[in-house]
């Protein structure tokens, strides 16, 4: 177990991740008259999925990035070099996401290719990838480095995209980022991995700085760039945690990332079963169904903003619960896998319970 006195001196400058993210968020909000035409989402393009009411800056990812960069610049510890390389590897997917936020209409396939490029750069710079997934027989394939690298790119690209898929309510994607980074911090702490504790803590603090202005009133949004950036960096921190701590089962990591992963996989299944294009927007994501239910409640019907934020409040405990379970089974493959199956079945059951019934 890590002792507090052994780590606090290593965290000098980490408070700047929170401070920098918050201050840059405030600057973006106060200066929105200058950029709102470009930094808010076009209502025509996303009318089907539209939940937010007023034009709002969608470039909060810049604030999260600046918080991370400020902490990186002002701190000096064993995780600094890795943090700098991780941020650098994220640039392709961050830039393509921001271009989409700024109305350049980047097709999803290009953003996925950018996420793949970021993962490839991460493998080259960080020198690590997935070596196992704790699935019998399938793990044998990871003995072949090309397959292991290909699967790692596929998985991290998927997670990066998944963080964007769930970004639809005030505080939802940021809440997931806070949950993931917090539980990665705790899991690293339990395994005495100071290196990963410091990395994940930076992303927790930088996300929190933006979250304070994003929730509950939605003064600024994370945006595609921010969501892709968070998904990329957190997925690579989890891979580092696994490579440094072989006693941790990958299924525990899947539980920590449960919500974005399962939401994306079930969305793919739903579209395939309905034979609809993945590029076609719909209003059938779990968080949208919850919001549609909440706004029908009379006390929330008069304020879409309150209904929006209350929907996130309902979802966050459901998002956090699998992560809590992961702490009990992080070194137990069977327990973590059963937990994943249980929560997946529960997700599907609740989804089908709240989805609109066809006449």
Q: What is the pLDDT of residues 136-190, one digit of tens each?
A: 999 999 999 999 999 999 999 999 999 999 988 899 999 999 999 999 999 999 9
- Lowest-confidence segment of 164-173, 192-201, 279-288 by average pLDDT: 279-288
Q: Write out the DSSP string of 318-331.
A: HHHHHHHHHHHSTT
Buried b (16+ CB within 10 A) or exposed e, 218-254: bbbbbbbbbbbbbbbbbbbbbbbbbbebeebbbbbbb
CA 303 to centroid of chain Cα atoms: 27
Q: Say yes or no to pLDDT of 359 above 50.
A: no
State the pLDDT at residue 302: 61
Rg (CA), the chain: 20
More confident residue, 247 or 56: 247
Q: Say yes or no to pLDDT of 6 above 60.
A: no
Mean pLDDT of 315-322: 94
Mean pLDDT of 46-57: 65
Mean pLDDT of 269-287: 78
State the pLDDT at residue 305: 80
């Amino acid at each position: 177990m890590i002792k507090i006195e052994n780590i606090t001196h290593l965290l000098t400058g980490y408070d700047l991740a929170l401070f920098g993210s918050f201050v840059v968020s405030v600057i973006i909000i106060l200066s929105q008259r200058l950029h709102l035409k470009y930094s808010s989402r076009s209502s025509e393009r996303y009318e089907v999925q539209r939940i937010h009411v007023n034009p709002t800056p969608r470039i909060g990812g810049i604030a999260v990035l600046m918080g991370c960069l400020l902490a990186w610049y002002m701190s000096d510890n064993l995780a600094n070099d890795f943090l700098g390389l991780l941020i650098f590897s994220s640039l392709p997917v961050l830039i393509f996401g921001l271009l989409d936020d700024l109305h350049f209409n980047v097709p999803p396939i290009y953003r996925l290719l950018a996420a793949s490029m970021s993962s490839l750069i991460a493998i080259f710079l960080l020198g690590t990838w997935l070596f196992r997934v704790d699935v019998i027989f399938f793990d044998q394939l990871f003995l072949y480095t090309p397959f292991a690298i290909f699967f790692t790119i596929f998985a991290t690209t998927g997670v990066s995209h998944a963080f964007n898929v769930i970004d639809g309510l005030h505080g939802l994607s940021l809440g997931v980022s806070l949950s993931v980074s917090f539980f990665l911090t705790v899991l690293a702490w339990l395994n005495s991995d100071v290196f990963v504790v410091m990395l994940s803590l930076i992303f927790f603090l930088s996300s929190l700085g933006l979250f304070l202005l994003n929730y509950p009133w939605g003064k600024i949004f994370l945006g595609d760039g921010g969501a892709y950036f968070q998904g990329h960096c957190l997925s690579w921190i989890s891979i580092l945690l696994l490579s440094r701590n072989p006693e941790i089962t990958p299924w525990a990591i899947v539980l920590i990332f449960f919500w974005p992963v399962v939401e994306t996989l079930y969305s793919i299944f739903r579209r395939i079963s309905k034979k609809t294009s993945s590029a076609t927007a719909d209003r059938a994501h779990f968080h949208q169904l919850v919001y549609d239910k909440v706004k029908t409640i009379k006390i929330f019907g008069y304020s879409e903003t309150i209904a929006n934020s209350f929907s996130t409040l309902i979802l966050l405990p459901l998002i956090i619960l699998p992560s809590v379970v992961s702490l009990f089974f992080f070194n137990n493959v069977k327990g973590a896998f059963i937990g994943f199956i249980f929560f997946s079945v529960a997700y599907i059951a609740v989804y089908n319970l709240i989805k609109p019934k066809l006449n």
